Structures are given as C-alpha cells and as structure tokens.
Amino acid sequence: MTLPLTGVRVLDLTQVYAGPTCTRILSDLGADVIKLEGLRRMDITRNFVMPENTGKGDYWNRSGYFLLRNGGKKSITLDFSDPEAVELVKRLVPYADVVAESFTPRVMAKFGLDYESLKAIKAEIIMISLSGYGQTGPWRDFTAYGMGLEPASGISSVTGYRDGPPLRTGISFTDPYSGVVGAGAVLAALHYRRRTGKGQYIDLSEHESAIPVTGFALMDYALNGRMEPRIGNRSHWYAPQGCYRCRGDDDWLAITIRDDTEWEAFCHATGHPEWENGRFGDVLGRFQHHDELDELISSWTRDQDQMEAMHLLQTVGVVAAAVLNPKQVLLDPHLRQRDFFDMIDQPDVGARPVSRQLGAKFSAFQPDSARPAPKLGEHNREVLQGILGLSDEDLARLQEQKVIGDTPEGAVPLDVMRMFVQWPTTTFLQMGSIAGLDEDYREQLGIGGNEK
Amino acid sequence: MPDSALAGIRVVDLSQGIAGPYCTRLLADLGAEVIKVEPPEGDYARRFGPFPDDIPHPDRGGLFLHLNANKKSVTLDVETQSGRVVLRKLLANSDVLVESEAPGVMASRELGYEQLKEAFPNLVYCSVTPFGQTGPYASFKGNSLTAMALSGLMYITGDPDKEPLCTGGEPAEYFGALHAWVAILAALEHRSQTSAGQHIDVSMLEALGCADEYNTTMYAYLGAIRKRFYSRHAIPTYPSEIFPCRDGSIVVIGGATGFPLMMAILIEQPEMENNPLFQNLWLRFMQWEKFEEVLRPYLAEHDWEDLLTRAQELRVPFAAVLDARTLLENPHLRERGFFEEVEHPELGRVPVAAHPFRMSETPLRVRRSPLLGEHTHAVLAEVGYEGEDQLVLRERGVT
C-alpha cells in the first residue's frame, strides 16, 4: 500500500516529546525515520514507565513512554563527542530527505550540522529545528523545558479556576502541539520541493507555535485593552456551562447548554420542567443566573451515574460528556470502535494498547502506526553497513571505541534515574496524585504480560 | 516576492466555528487559495466576540479575524439545490474541501464524499467534528469542553480537591485544526503518487487523545490511574510549578542542573546548597510544602522579569507566565516579528499572530480576514457567472 511518505527518509536527531511527536507522525505516514541517539545521550524517555513497574535488565528497551512517541522508528547510536560519529552523520545526509533536530540553538552549528553545512552536502535537504523559543531573538538561548512553555505561550493565563491562579494542563501541552505543527511544516516543505526541487530550513519555536491557541484573549486585548479573566470551565459564549459532580468519589459530567431548545430538552430530560420558564427561561436569564443554575444542575447530577447521565442528555440533544479518567479512556467503547488504540507487541514487554499519533482516518490508506519501538542501537548495522557500506571491521572498531553500541553509558547518574525507572506508586496513591492502582490491569485491558 | 509552499492549491472551505477555519487558515498562510463558502448570514463565528466596545457586527469580530486571515469569502446557501449547483462549479478546479457539519448532514445535502467523489475524483475531502464520523458517539453533540472531557486530559488537569479543569482557549478545536491540516497535507502527498483524492475523517477527541503524554501508558504498564494534582507531573521532579511572585507569576523549574547550587545562588541563600531539601530530589518531592516555605517568600519579593533573567543566566530553566498584554509587548517576539499588523476596513490596524513556524524559502504570509461575501462577485465570475446571473442568484437568496 502506498503511503504518503513512502520513499522519504528522515534523519531524526530529536528527543523527548515535541520532536519525536513530529517524526512519529512522519513515520506513521510511511517515512523511514532513523532516530539518532548517543550512548551517553540516549533519549531520556527510555527511562520512563516500565512494564509492571520493573526496571530490570535492559529496561531502556521497554519503556512505555518511549514506545508511544517512537514506535516504528529505527535507532542508531552515534556519540557526537567523537568526530568520527559526526562524520558518519554527514555521510548519511545524502541519503536523507529531511533532517530533524531539537537541540538548543547553535548546537548543530557547533558540530558543523547547521542548515548551511547540510545544504552544501545536499542542496535539496529539508531541515527542521524544533526549539523552545526559536533560533533567533533575546530568549533563544534560554534553557527550555516543556513545563515552562505552556505558561510562556499565554495558555496558562487563561487556564484556571475562577478567582484562582494560572494553571497548566496535566500534560506539557505545547510539546505535542508543536510536534504536530512540525509535521505539517515538513509536509508543506516536501510539497514545495516536489514542485520546485528546492529544500529549505524550518525554524519552529514551540513557544510561537502554541500562542495562537490564545487568539480570543489576544484579540480582546488588541481591540479593547482588556485582559481575560480565568473562567474555570465556563464559556465565553454559552451559559450554563460547567463540570458537575456525579455520584461516586470523583465522577464528573461536563455540560454546555447553548440555546432555548437545548435548555428545554435538558429540563424535561432531568425531570424538572419547572426550570424551563421563569428566570432561567431565556438566554439572558441563564447568563445572569449562572451561579444559581450551577447549583441546580449539580443537585441533579449528584444523584446520577456519569455515563448514564451523558447518554440520557445526548439522546435529547444536549451537549454533555463524562470526564473520563485514563483507565476509562482505554476502555471507552467509542474509542475502541474507532481503533484509536493500536495493540503493539513490544519485544520483552508483550502487547500493550498505544494511542495513535494522528487523530485522522483516511479512506485511501492506513497509517502504519502499530509498530514497536526500536531497541537502543538496534539498526546500527542496518544503517551504517546497509546504507553507508561500513565493513564488519569498521563496525567492530566503532563498537569497541563506544562510538556505537546498544548499552547506555552513565551520563545521568543511575541513582537519580532509578527513581524514574521504578515509580513509587504507593506513595503516589497516598499523596493523591493517582486515583487508583489496579492489580488486575492486564486482565481489565485484555492483555498478557511477560514477567521479566 | 517570495514563493509560497502551497501556491496553486485551491481550497473550498465550508467549515464554520474554530477547528475547520483554523485548519484552512494554516493552509492559507502557506499560500493556498482558500475560498470560505459561508451561508448568506455568515459563519456563526462571526457572532462571537471579542468586538470593539462589545458591539456585535459580522465584520468586526476579533476571533474571526484571527481564524480567517488570508481567505476569500463567498456567500452561498448550500442547503438549496441552486446553491449546490454553484458549489459544484467551485469544486471543479479545487483540490480540497473542508467541512465541519455533524455526520450525515453533508450527505443529506447531496454533498457527502460518496456523492461527490465520482465527479471530483481528485478532491481531498476533509471532515472535522468533535467525535468523528463513526462510532457510538458519532451522533453526539460536542464542543471543546466535551472533547477534553472524553479524552482523559481534563481529568488530569486542576486541583485534586476540585472539579477537573478544561484548558482555556478551546484547545480541542485548535488540536483538531492541526490534525486536519496535517492530514490534508498528507493526502495531497498521497495524491501526488496516486492521482486520487480521498475522505479524511478528523476527530477533535482523538486529536486530543494523541497528545497524551503517559497517562494511558501509566495504566497499561502499571495499573495506575493518574489524577490531577495541581498540574504537577507524574514523573517525580519537583518543582516545575507556577508560583506567584511580586508582580505576577513565574514558572519555577529546577531542571537537571538547577539544584542544589544554582537555586541556592538564585534565591541569594548560598547556605541552602547543603540543605537536604535542595540536595535530595526525592525529599523535595515528598516534602514539597516545606520546600515552598523557603521559596515563596523570596518570590514574593521579586519581579518576574528579574527572576527569569537571573535564573536563565544560571541555566536554571525558569519560564515566564505571559498573558495577552505581555505577549504582544514581548521583546523576543517583537524581534522575531511574530505578530504582524494588518489593516482591516472595519477594525483598523490590528496585530495578528502570524508565524507559528518559519520557512526559509516560503515564508508564511498574513493578510486580513474577508468581509462577509466580499469575494462572491469575483469568485463566481471566475467560474463563469455573468453579471445578470449573479444578480438573479443574489435576489433569490442563493448567494
């Protein structure tokens, strides 16, 4: 089956979250993605989320976090501290269509791998740099972590409870967001190259890519000089809207009621026709008495099962949805029917549900998303010998010199990493940062596991 | 004049609201010709503020400008047979169609993919909805809030003792827009090899689900159900939080090298370098309240720019908590030219977010959004409708 990027090769120097999201999408669309790691610099996410929380043996080949972002890619290890490794990367460039990297600006230049240098090797190369704040400007040398970029992009200023402080999403929002933007930028560059034969350089600032999400707030300031307050789960345009407690410890229902028709349907479905008229009977009344409406709605939802209430309201045309926890998401019938999760059989781990990386279904092809993640250095021979023609002796020498390999060197003290490799889930449960710990999770998900 | 990446690509955009329009905005920024086909009363998003002085007007919405820069506007009632005749003429030399109706609506108008594909075999047809075209929730009504709720991302956002929180700014719409944009570009690549169009079914819920960092993975690997905890990461690094400071807020992140020495220097208490809370990551994670007793008073005495500058000089990865004003005034963004001013006949000069990414050969462009029906005459003339025909269509409410 032809995929959109069949025949396109990507040299992937990105790591962690944003860059790998970008290159994973390209990989799922058919590109041959060669991920470059270093023995002293393997992708740090290889340390996160171990099967059955056991980090034994070659744990770096079994990480769940790494699989999610790197399934389907190839892995080679070339340690940049060795000039011969840098030379090998340069020798790979003629075989690549795209080079992707996510270092702090100037690192690639330091190794002679900036765009001008790569263009001299291959004129039509497309290069994308994903960085925190971009390649230019007073903030370009800032050390950028994903946890800081969502607030820096303005999104946190409009996220939070009413009268509360700015908050962040429970994921590093700008990382996957900018990764998807990066995939689109590369596709646009490939389209242009097909038409003109020209490559180009893409400077993607994760900060900038996410700022448009705050468009409403930006425009209110630009037009009215007014700052948006945080409105919790309310809407700028519809009332009532909110998140209402249901029966149970931590079960909630999100509801939006937009017009008179939906309000009428809501009143009848909940058995409260008396709410339909009077001071809630029109849009202005509902807007003005939002606080009181929230109480009324809660008085109904608190006796309801969140899923039953969602279905009841949706049947009569009201916008409502249960707030699902991650376990419920995995078991959700809609997402299952949509094949949202691929079952990926990762070596030494067994089959696990892994969410796709592109929220789109195509009628003419199926993205190749259900492939395992590569072991560290798994494709050293395939790439260095298969593409560059290095001999067995060359490979053996490079291995001995620890330029290439399959076992990470201790760049980050293993003690520190130990805490990440095996998570203190009982402590998390006591703290309250996890809501539950199921011993029978594999039965619940219908998967077996290897007890390694 | 620099070239554009999608020069020659033509998009007929029937979508309304946020997700479909932001998708086509990105296509337009890349140089595609985007013809926004609106009902005669306009995209419903023309009703949304913010408006100058809060006075509604279909051509003065700020969000509308943000979402629809670079496009043309044609008014057409595609619920009528006559409107569909005109639309088919527009589709004849178009590459992409984007729509955001509830599943089944386009088919009921004889404009579903199955109904159009024979006449327009090269057409890339993209549908964007909250939950997708199929599945038990396909008939559900949705929006950004409900997509966030079903994605699992809402459950993990907010304070543990309060209700789950939705990220501000309609994030599901923007994520859906991005995935639709990428999918359309992918389908155009595919078409260059196969010469065929196709149907793309984008779900905002799934676009959000794709963004998940490790939450479903935590259950699939550990049986742990991650819960919201002040937006703290499950990976036990601490701090990486937003704290109040004297003149606002600041993101305090220690990072890989910030503890113990750099943080101690930053808060001007070098003796803290030897404090167990500064030395030991795990202790700090567990006794975070004690740690905050040391940190908060210092932050309360200092301004965010000073804290940010000094921290970054020490290579401690603090970050700013910017809002609309500080974004528009930010020197870094200003030097990079992120915002560009456009001249709008109804709004005057307005700054618009212009460069979500930069391409060296084909820079993104930004021009103002269209007035309602501004290009109806020109676009219809291009596909062969003479003056009198256009008058007839207009008088009969077709355009």
Cβ within 8 Å of A, B 90-129: 113
Q: Is the pLDDT of residue A417 over 90?
A: no
Residues B148 and B189 in one domain: yes
Three-state SS sequence of chain B: CCCCCCCCCEEEECCCCCHHHHHHHHHHHCCCEEEEEECCCCCHHHHCCCCHHHCCCCCCCHHHHHHHCCCEEEECCCCCHHHHHHHHHHHHCCCEEEECCCCCHHHHCCCCHHHHCCCCCCCEEEEEECCCCCCCCCCCCCCHHHHHHHHCCCCCCCCCCCCCCCCCCCHHHHHHHHHHHHHHHHHHHHHHHHCCCEEEEEEHHHHHHHCCCCHHHHHHHHCEEECCCCCCCCCCCCCEEEEEECCEEEEEECCCCCCCHHHHHHCCCHHHHHCHHHHCHHHHHHCHHHHHHHHHHHHHCCCHHHHHHHHHHCCCCCEECCCHHHHHCCHHHHHHCCEEEEEECCCEEEEEECCCCEECCCCCCCCCCCCCCCCHHHHHHHCCCCHHHHHHHHHCCCC
Angle of helix B171-194 versus helix B144-151 axis, rounded to 10: 80
Q: Tell me whether A248 touches chain B (CB under 8 Å).
A: no
Confidence category of residue A452, pLDDT binned at 50, 70, 90: very low
- Nearest in space to B3 (alpha carbons), one of A196, A105, A416, A32: A196
Q: Of the candidates B321, B318, B203, which has an alpha carbon nearest to the alpha carbon of residue B263? A: B318
Residue A99 lies in a domain: yes
Q: Cβ distance A309 to B149 under 8 Å? A: no
pLDDT band at A90 (very low <50, low <70, confident <90, very high): very high
Is A283 in the same domain as A368?
no
Would you say residue B276 lies in a domain?
Answer: yes
Residue B328 has, within 13 A of its CA and on its CB side, a CA count of: 19
Is the CB of residue B178 less than 8 Å from the CB of residue B104? no
Residue B349 included in any domain: yes
Over pLDDT 70: what percentage of chain A?
97
Q: Do B118 and B162 belong together in one domain?
A: yes
**Confidence at A411, pLDDT banded by 50, 70, 90:** low
> B interface mutation test: which of A143, A175, A257 has the most B CBs within 10 A?
A143
**With bands split at pLDDT 50, 70 and 90, how would you rate the model's confidence at A412?**
low
Which of residues 103 through 122 in chain A touch B, CB cutoff 8 A?
A: 115
Say if residue A236's pLDDT is above 60. yes
Domain end among B291, B322, B353: B322
Residue A304 sits in a domain of what CATH number?
3.30.1540.10
The reply to whether B127 and B48 lie within a common domain is yes
Of B54, B166, B361, the CB nearest to A233: B166
Q: Residue A100 pLDDT more than 60?
A: yes
Q: How far is A407 from chain B (nearest CA, A)?
A: 22
Whether A283 and A372 map to the same domain: the answer is: no
**Nearest CA of chain B to the CA of A419: how many Å?**
8
B327 with A211: Cβ contact below 8 A = yes
- State which residue of chain B sits closest to A21, comparing Cα positions: B211
What domain range includes position A36? 9-212+339-445
Q: B167 φ, ψ to 5°?
A: -60, 140
Same domain, A130 and A186: yes
Q: Convert the pLDDT of each residue in A10-43 to its tens digit.
A: 999 999 999 999 999 999 999 999 999 999 889 9
**How many domains is chain B built from?**
2
Judgement on whether residues B348 and B266 belong to the same structural domain of the protein: no
Q: Is residue A409 part of a domain?
A: yes
Count CB atoms within 10 A of the CB of residue A197.
Answer: 9
Cβ-contact A293, A240 below 8 angstroms: yes
Q: What is the pTM of this model?
A: 0.97
d(CA A163, CA A429): 29
Is B228 domain-assigned?
no
> B152: closest CA among B206, B230, B224?
B206
pLDDT band at A422 (very low <50, low <70, confident <90, very high): confident
Q: Which helix (H) or strand (E) holds A115?
A: helix A115-121
Residues B119 and B246 in one domain: no
* Sign of the torsion angle spanned by Cα atoms A309, A313, A318, A324: positive
- Residue numbers in A near B95 (CB within 8 A): none
Q: What is the per-residue pLDDT for B1? A: 75
Which tokens belong to A29? 């669309």
CB B241 within 8 A of CB A393: no
CB neighbour list of residue B157: distance below 8 Å, 6 or more residues apart: A159, A167, A168, A169, A170, B164, B165, B166, B167, B228, B231
Strands A9-13 and B339-344: unpaired
Residue of chain B whose alpha carbon sits nearest to that of A246: B163
Q: Which of B206, B81, B186, B67 is nearest to B132 (CA)?
A: B206
Residues A374 and A282 in one domain: no
Q: How many CB pairs under 8 A join A and B?
A: 564
Indicate whether B2 belongs to any domain: no
Chain A residues lying within 8 Å of B359, measured CB to CB:
185, 188-189, 192, 200-202
- What the block records as the tokens of A251 is 């079960």
Predicted confidence (pLDDT) at residue A363 exceeds the cutoff of 60 = yes
Residue A127: the pLDDT is 98
Task: Tell me: do B294 and B164 sit in the same domain.
Answer: no
Distance CA B22, CA B17 (A): 9
Query: How close does chain A come to B256, measured CA to CA in Å?
Result: 9
* CATH number, residue A441: 3.40.50.10540
Boundary residue ending a domain (A324, A353, A372): A324
Domain membership of residue B370 as a residue range: 10-210+336-395
Is pLDDT at B231 greater than 80 in this prediction?
A: no
d(CA A237, CA A367): 37
Residues A379-393, mean pLDDT to the nearest whole number: 97
CA quadruple A55, A60, A66, A72: dihedral sign:
negative
Q: Which of A271, A301, A324 is the last residue of a domain?
A: A324
Same domain, A398 and A265: no
Tell me if A223 is assigned to some domain.
no
Q: Which amino acid belongs to residue B380? A: L
Per CB-CB distance under 8 Å, the chain A contacts of B134 are: 337-338
Question: Does residue A175 have an active-site annotation?
Answer: yes
How distant, in Å, are the alpha carbons of A224, B29, B88, B365, B371 from that of B62? 10, 18, 31, 19, 13
> Is the Cβ pair B226, A435 closer than 8 Å?
yes
Q: Which of B183, B216, B361 sits opposite A358 (nearest CB)?
A: B183
Last residue of one domain, picked from the residues B322, B348, B376 = B322
Contact A423 B224 (CB under 8 A): yes
Angstrom distance (rounded) from CA A68 to CA A179:
14
- The residue in chain A having the minimum alpha-carbon distance to the alpha carbon of residue B341 is A222
Predicted confidence (pLDDT) per residue in A316-360, tens digit = 999 999 999 999 999 999 999 999 999 999 999 999 999 999 999
| Same domain assignment for residues B89 and B182 | yes
CB atoms within 10 A of CB A401: 13
Please indicate, yes or no, whether residues A266 and A167 belong to a single structural domain of this protein: no
Interface probe, candidates A252, A343, A361, chain B, greatest B C-beta count within 10 A: A361
Which chain B residue's Cα is nearest to A243? B163
Q: What is the CATH number of the domain that holds B273?
A: 3.30.1540.10
Integer Cα distance of A177 and A49 in angstroms: 22
The span from the CA of A291 to the CA of A452, in Å, is 54
* pLDDT bracket for residue A98 (50, 70, 90): very high
Chain B segment 307-346 residues within 8 A of A by beta carbon are 312, 315-325, 327-328, 331-333, 335-336, 338
B90-101 per-position pLDDT tens digit: 999 999 999 999
The answer to whether residues A51 and A89 belong to one domain is yes
| Same domain flag for B138 and B185 | yes
Note whether A238 and A250 are within 8 A (CB).
no
> Number of folded domains in chain A?
2
Asked whether residue B253 is assigned to any structural domain, the reply reads yes
| A314 and A201 together in one domain | no
Mean pLDDT within B303-317: 96
pLDDT in tens, A47-81: 999 999 988 889 999 999 999 999 999 999 998 78
Same domain, residue pair B25 and B143:
yes
Selected residue of A126, A224, A363, A414 to mutate for chain B interface (largest B Cβ count, 10 A): A363
Cβ contact A324–B6 (<8 Å): no
Band the pLDDT of A1: cuts 50, 70, 90. confident
Say if the Cβ atoms of B225 and A325 lie within 8 Å.
Answer: yes
Residues B264 and B123 in one domain: no
Answer whether residue A232 is part of any domain: no
Do B317 and B352 fall into the same domain?
no
Q: Is the pLDDT of residue A450 over 60?
A: no
Q: Does one domain contain both B362 and B272?
A: no
Would the CB atoms of A212 and B174 count as touching at under 8 Å?
yes
Q: Determine, yes or no, domain membership for A330.
A: no
Report how far residue A258's alpha carbon sits from residue A396's, in angstroms, rounded to the nearest whole number.
68
Q: A216, A246, A258: best mutation site toward chain B, by most B Cβ within 10 Å? A: A216
What is the band of B274 on the pLDDT scale with cuts at 50, 70, 90?
very high
Q: Which of A43, A79, A114, A175 is catalytic?
A: A175
In a domain, A176, yes or no: yes
Q: Is A432 on the interface with B (CB under 8 A)?
A: yes
Same domain, A257 and A404: no
Residue A95 sits in the same domain as residue A201: yes
The predicted pLDDT at position A88 comes to 96
B195 touches chain A (CB under 8 A): no
Residue B227 lies in a domain: no
Q: Does A411 touch chain B (CB under 8 A)?
A: no
What CATH number has the domain bearing residue B377?
3.40.50.10540
Average pLDDT, chain B: 96
Please state the rounded mean pLDDT for residues A84-113. Answer: 95
Q: Is A352 on the interface with B (CB under 8 A)?
A: yes
End-of-domain residue from the set B295, B322, B349: B322
Number of Cβ within 10 Å of residue A306's Cβ equals 25
Residue B318 has pLDDT above 70, yes or no: yes
Let me know: does A374 contact A73? Beta carbons within 8 Å: yes
Q: Which has the closest alpha carbon to A417: A165, A44, A105, A89? A: A44
Nearest-Å Rg of the Cα atoms of chain B is: 25
- Helix or strand or coil: residue A213? helix
Looking at the domain assignment, is residue B341 inside a domain? yes
> Which tokens is A123 given?
């004129």
Q: Where does a domain end: A324, A353, A378? A: A324
For the segment A128-161, what is each residue's pLDDT rounded down to a tens digit?
Answer: 999 999 999 999 999 999 999 999 999 999 999 9
pLDDT score at A309: 98
Closest by CA to A130, choosing from A182, A185, A93, A177, is A182
Least confident of A58-72, B158-172, B279-293: B279-293
3 state DSSP class of A40: coil
Residues 199-228 of B with CB under 8 A from A: 199-228
Check if B231 contacts A (Cβ < 8 Å): yes
Cα A14 off chain centre by: 14
Instruction: Mention every residue, 6+ apart, whose C-beta is less than 8 A from residue A62.
Output: A50, A51, A346, A348, A349, A452
| Cβ contact A318–B141 (<8 Å) | yes
Task: Decide if A447 and B242 are in contact by the 8 Å CB cutoff.
Answer: no
Q: What are the residues whose beta carbons fall under 8 Å from the beta carbon of B353, sequence distance 6 or more?
A: A211, A212, A215, A218, B66, B338, B339
Name the 3-class secondary structure at A272. coil
Phi, psi of B301 (to 5 degrees): -95, 0
Closest CA to B30 of B274, B366, B331: B366
- For residue A118, give the nearest of A201, A194, A27 by alpha carbon: A201
Tell whether A230 is covered by a domain: no
Residue A241 belongs to some domain of the structure: no
CB B92 within 8 A of CB B159: no
pLDDT of A421 strictly over 90? no
Give yes or no: residues A274 and A360 share one domain: no
B 257-286 residues inside an 8 A Cβ radius of A: 281-282, 286
Nearest-CA residue of chain B relative to A337? B135
Q: For residue A375, which of A405, A414, A419 has the smallest C-alpha distance? A: A405
CB pair distance less than 8 Å for B224 and A171: no
| A400 CA: distance to closest CA in chain B (Å) | 30
Mean pLDDT of B204-227: 96
Res. A188: pLDDT tops 70? yes
Alpha-carbon span A70 to A91, nearest angstrom: 24
User: Based on the domain organization, do A279 and A369 belong to the same domain?
Assistant: no
B388 and chain A: CB distance < 8 Å anywhere? Answer: no
Contact B151 A329 (CB under 8 A): yes
